[in-house]
């Protein structure tokens, strides 16, 4: 499954997902917080096959963000 997101504004966003099996049983929602702005995802590499959980890594210009 591939999901494409296009948040309307830069900043912190939260994506909530649920898994649904063939019997229509759904899992509890899981939240993923991510930030939108200048920068890019460095892991996983494009085309990497993943299962269950996957670590994400990103890089951005720290001079553009306040702590």
- For the chain, the straight-line distance linking the first and the last C-alpha, in angstroms and rounded, comes to 34
Q: What pLDDT sits at residue 37? A: 74
Distances (CA, A) of 17 to 6, 38, 52, 67: 16, 25, 12, 28
CA atoms 29, 51, 59, 45: torsion sign: negative
Q: What is the pLDDT of residue 3?
A: 79
Per-residue pLDDT of the chain (67 residues; tens, 9 = 90+): 777 888 887 778 888 999 999 999 999 999 988 877 776 666 666 677 767 776 667 776 666 655 5
Compute φ and ψ for 32, nearest 5 degrees.
Answer: -125, 120
């Amino acid at each position: 499954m591939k999901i494409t997101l296009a948040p309307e504004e830069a900043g912190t966003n939260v994506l909530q997902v649920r898994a649904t099996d063939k019997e229509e049983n759904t899992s509890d929602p899981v939240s993923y917080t991510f930030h939108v702005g200048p920068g890019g995802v460095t892991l996983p590499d494009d085309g990497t096959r993943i299962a269950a959980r996957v670590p994400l890594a990103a890089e951005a210009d720290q001079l553009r963000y306040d702590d």
